[in-house]
Structure formats: C-alpha cells, structure tokens
Structure 1
Amino acid sequence: MAGSGDIRSVLVYWLKILLPLLALAILSTLFLVSRRIDTEGALPYADVDVDALAREQRLTAPEYSGLTSDGTEFLMRAGVARPLEAGGGRAEDISAELRTQGGLGVEMSAAAGQVDPAAGAFSLTGDVVLSTSTGYRIETQGLTSYTSRTEVVSDGAIQATTPFGALEAGGMTLGPAPEGADAYVLVFKQGVKLVYEPEN
C-alpha cells in the first residue's frame, strides 16, 4: 500500500513540473510558427479621408417630410446633404414624393437639389424625372416644388409621356384646379407639341 502511495506522489510531483512546461512549449510554438499579420490589407474598406470628414459637415441618407397648407404630404430623401451658410442645404441623389388628400401621387427624382425652408420650397436639378399616379412621366432639367402649398413648376422645357401620347412644352405647372375640391391639374405651356397616340 505504501508503495502505490509513493508512486502516486512521485507521479503528481513530476506532472506539476511537466504539464506547465508542456503548456509553455505549445504557446511558444504558436507564437513562433504563426504568420505575420498584414496590417495594410486588414481593413480594405477603411480608405477614408478623415481630415475631409472633419472639415466638411454633411448628413448621410437624410429625410425631410411635412404637410402643405392644403393637406398634401411630402417626403424628400437624399443620398448626402450639406448645409449652406445662408440656410437650408444642398443635396445629391434626391427622391421626393407628394401625396394629396384626393389620392394623387407624385414621385420626383434628380441628381441634385437644394432645400430652402425659409422660402418653403425645394428645387431639383439635373435629369429630373416626375411621375404621377395618373400615368404621366415628365423629364426636365430643373423644377421647383413648394412645401408650403401643393405646386410644382418646371424651370424650363419638358418632355412628357402621357396616357394619350408624347408631349413637348416650354414649361409645366402642377397645382390646384380652379374649381378646387381637392383636384389638381397639370398645365403645359409655351409651344406645346403633342403626338397623339390613341389606344387601339
């Protein structure tokens, strides 16, 4: 009995020495054999000019929404927006939506634009496209939409695809119908040319 107890004591004694040494050998092997980390390629998407971000104020994916005096809901989104010293802001990659109380939907998109809360308006520039829920698609280089009232005015010539054909004009306005009653009309003006395409 005493002999087996002595063997166990000797075994425990040597294991207390050998096991920590074995652990150290494994750890040192891991550090010695492991490859060097490439810190240059570790963050491939971190190519950001931090100084430019610190100098330039901007918002990413902002939204601006509200209600006009005649009850039309508007919502404007942008990819990037920057404040202007005079107030308001300039934005890129803009989309805007209007929804009247009568159910008319208007969607607009443009490469750039500017919001002027003091004037109650926003302007869109650069390949502007306006689409209505009634089937009109209008292309122009600039337009102004108001946030204080339901009115959209083109800054120049337009080209339109309508339910009854193709149309060109020197200008366009979307606003309330003279008779009111939550009705809105598109008015084309200044040398209107229409290619009438009746439905078959």
Structure 2
Amino acid sequence: MGRESRHSMLVHWAKLVLPLSALMLLSTLFLFSGRVDPTTASIYAKVDVDALVAEPRLTAPEYSGMTEDGAALTVRAKTATPDPAGHGASARDVIAKLEAADGAVTDLTAAAGVLDPALAQITLTDGVALQTSAGYRMATAKAEIATDRSRIVAPGAVHGEAPFGTIAAGQMEIGRTAPGAPYDLLFNGRVKLIYQPQQ
C-alpha cells in the first residue's frame, strides 16, 4: 500500500471517527448533567430580570471626550438609564474628571446625573462634591458640566474649604474668562470668606 493510499485511508476514517466521538462526548455531557430547576434560578441570579425588561440600563458606563479648548473630560457612573425618547440618559453614583490642557484638574462626585447631548451638558445632583488641584473642596446641590468646552457651573449655593480658609457663595463657576486665558474659579452672590492664616 502506497504512502498516498495510507494517507487517504487515514483521512477517510478520521471523517467518520471524529464526528462520532464528538457526538458521544455531547451525549455523555447531557446524560450526566443534573436536572435544572427553573424555580431556583432566581435564588442565584444577581440581576433582577423583570426590572431590566421594564427599565433597560447600562452597568458601569463611561463617557470621555475632548473639549474645544483641549481639556479631557471623563465621566463614569454605576448605572445609566437611557431616555426612552432618545434625549440622553440619567445615571447614578457619578464620578467626573476635567483635566485642562494646562494641568489643572477638577474632580466631581454626585449621587445622580443627567447627560443631555442637546445642551452639550452633564448635570450632577444629589450631593455634589467638587475638588480642584488648586486645593479647593466645595459642596453644592447641583453642578453643570459643559461637554463642548471647559466650564463647570454651580448655579446654587456652594460652601467648602479653600487653600486660605473657608468660603461660601451663592454660585460658582470654573472656566476661562477669555480664549487662551488660565482657568479661573469665580464665586458670586453673597460671598463669605473666613481667612485662616497658614501657620
């Protein structure tokens, strides 16, 4: 028997034996596997399927982009629920970071947030905490982050710590006063400053 005929015979038997072996393995797998009780599935499930069907949501979503003036904006959340009408999404447990081109960094956290692409804005609510690399740590009820430029606005009362003491005001804004200008932190409306000299 020549070499080619032996090879042909081997290929012929392999075409028969290999599929039969695979079929036997699958049969054994189903034969010895335990019966699945559908009523116990909910005990082990970590996801509420009914809630997901009624209210679709994303787990650990992340948004990142660059503003027109070269700052990097990153926003993460625990969960996000898309708007049924397609107008953005609402999120829970939000963490945001704005890193300016000149190295200034602003970190924000909040219990809730809404992304509105039409307004090019992310609105944080429910206990907003803001910290800058310049040493400011502020708290407010609401903060609006622009997604197209480096601008953060707290339209309501703010209070917290500055590098030189404590500060409270009716509103606050972080951004540029002019193109190419450094980032400014502006306080407006009944600003109250308690100066604490450095020791």
State the TM-score, normalizing by the size of structure 2. 0.76
Match of 2:137 in 1: 137
Match of 2:17 in 1: none
> Aligned partners of 1:48 and 1:181: how far apart in 2?
48
Contact 1:101 1:182 in 2 (8 A): no
Change (3 A) 1:131 1:42: same
| TM-fit CA distance, 1:53 | 1.5
Match of 2:123 in 1: 123
| TM-fit CA distance, 1:119 | 1.2
Change (3 A) 1:42 1:88: closer
Match of 2:194 in 1: 195
Match of 1:169 in 2: 169
Contact 1:106 1:132 in 2 (8 A): yes
Change (3 A) 1:47 1:153: closer
Match of 1:104 in 2: 104
**Residue 141 of structure 1 aligns to a residue in which SS?**
strand
Amino acid at match of 1:146: A
Match of 1:90 in 2: 90
Amino acid at match of 1:193: K
Amino acid at match of 2:75: M
> Aligned partners of 1:117 and 1:42: how far apart in 2?
39
Structure of higher CA gyration radius: 1
Unmatched tracts of structure 1, length 5 or more? 1-37
Query: In the TM superposition, what whole-angstrom CA distance separates every residue of 1:112-160 from its partner, at most 9, and x where no partner exists?
Result: 0100112111000011001001100010000101011111110200002
> Aligned partners of 2:118 and 2:38: how far apart in 1?
50
Unmatched tracts of structure 2, length 5 or more? 1-36
Contact 1:75 1:98 in 2 (8 A): yes
Contact 1:102 1:182 in 2 (8 A): no
2:109 pairs with 1:114: no
| TM-fit CA distance, 1:43 | 7.4
**Residue 131 of structure 2 aligns to a residue in which SS?**
strand
> Aligned partners of 1:61 and 1:47: how far apart in 2?
15
How many residues in Structure 1 have an aligned counterpart in Structure 2?
A: 163
> Aligned partners of 1:128 and 1:61: how far apart in 2?
19
Range with bigger deviation, 48-57 or 76-85: 48-57
Amino acid at match of 1:72: A
**Residue 102 of structure 2 aligns to a residue in which SS?**
coil
Match of 1:54 in 2: 53
Match of 1:153 in 2: 153
> Aligned partners of 1:195 and 1:116: how far apart in 2?
37
Change (3 A) 1:196 1:83: same
| TM-fit CA distance, 1:182 | 4.8
Match of 2:10 in 1: none
| TM-fit CA distance, 1:49 | 3.0
Overall identity of the aligned pairs, in %: 43
Amino acid at match of 1:87: H
> Aligned partners of 2:71 and 2:111: how far apart in 1?
24
